[in-house]
Amino acid sequence: MKVEIGESLVSSYLNHVEQCRIIQTNWKVSGNWSMGEQDKSRSKDLFNKIGSSSRFKSIFKNNSFEQLIKQAEIDVLGINTLESSLFAYDIAFHSNGLNYNGNYGTCEVVMKKIFRAIFSAQIYFPEFEIIESCFLTPKANNKLDSMLKDYFDEATELINSEDIIIKYISNNEFFEKIVDPIMSLVSNENDSSELYLRAIKLNQLDRRVSMSKIKNHKISPEKRTKDGMKIGQYVKNSMYNLSQNNQLNKIDISKLQDLSFCKKTLQISYPVLIKKNNSRQDSFGNNRYYKDEIVQGYWLCSQWVEKHWDGYLKWEKDINRG
């Protein structure tokens, strides 16, 4: 079976950087899978919203929603079970630069991949809170690069959801955000099944290569971690410890149930805690709270993303100080 180096690179990135516990390359929809009506309805509403916009009305051409889903294929699918996040990554590695069918044609192909991955994730993985759909390429000409960034900006505004993240990463940014983080971690990994890591280790055997370039290379990670944990995992662990150590008093718990306080202090759009006799789902049937009882008698909100770090850490510091 042919092994693509780009897919191996993405697999290593999702494994070691995004900490995905489950990864599959060349993920495809099975014709034997059924669609849940509620999940299909939610996804189809987004399909219609995108198809009716002036910018994206030609993206799906004559494809029906059902046809689009049947054609779904994702280069690398990753699942971070601790963060309840799903990553759908497509990569195009063209030595002469990204080009499917001219600049406009390429933009439409890329956006179709991005949207179709979102629809598929919503339908077949509805239990995951966050969907990240990303397109990667190490080389794109300046005009196409600028056009795609504009497309992604408009798509982000149109989707308008904290639960759906779309990204386009190219050129220098591709190496800074995807390749460099892997290079910084490779010395600690010995998994011989990862083709990209094996290629790096082979290159390291060449004594003409200065390893200090790898070891001393400073990387500014796109996503923060604390104690090796990303935001969702860190909050779960932190709240569990605070609860177990009796550091949450009645006033703290009351505040964390107050939406106004949570928005102002933590910039989160849901109460951090709700009583256990309440549903974990919102009015659309989406789970917004972890299934485990992390704080006794309450459900803990699961909708944590990067922008919540500062607010949560400040609140946590104040609790510990008190």
pLDDT reported for residue 11: 93
**pTM for the structure as a whole:** 0.75
Average of per-residue pLDDT across 146-164: 94
- 8 Å CB contact between 287 and 129: yes
- 8 Å CB contact between 20 and 79: yes
Q: How many CB atoms lie within 10 A of CB 229?
A: 17
pLDDT tens-digit profile of 245-290? Answer: 999 999 999 999 999 999 999 999 999 999 999 998 887 777 889 8
Extents of the domains making up the chain: 5-180, 231-321
**Looking at the domain 5-180, which fold is it?**
Trna Endonuclease; Chain: A, domain 1 (3.40.1350)
Using the predicted structure, report yes or no on whether residue 207 has a pLDDT greater than 70: no
Could you tell me the CA-to-CA distances from 247 to 18, 259, 299, 304, 322 in Å, in that order?
31, 21, 17, 21, 9
Cα Rg for the chain, rounded, in angstroms?
21
pLDDT reported for residue 270: 93
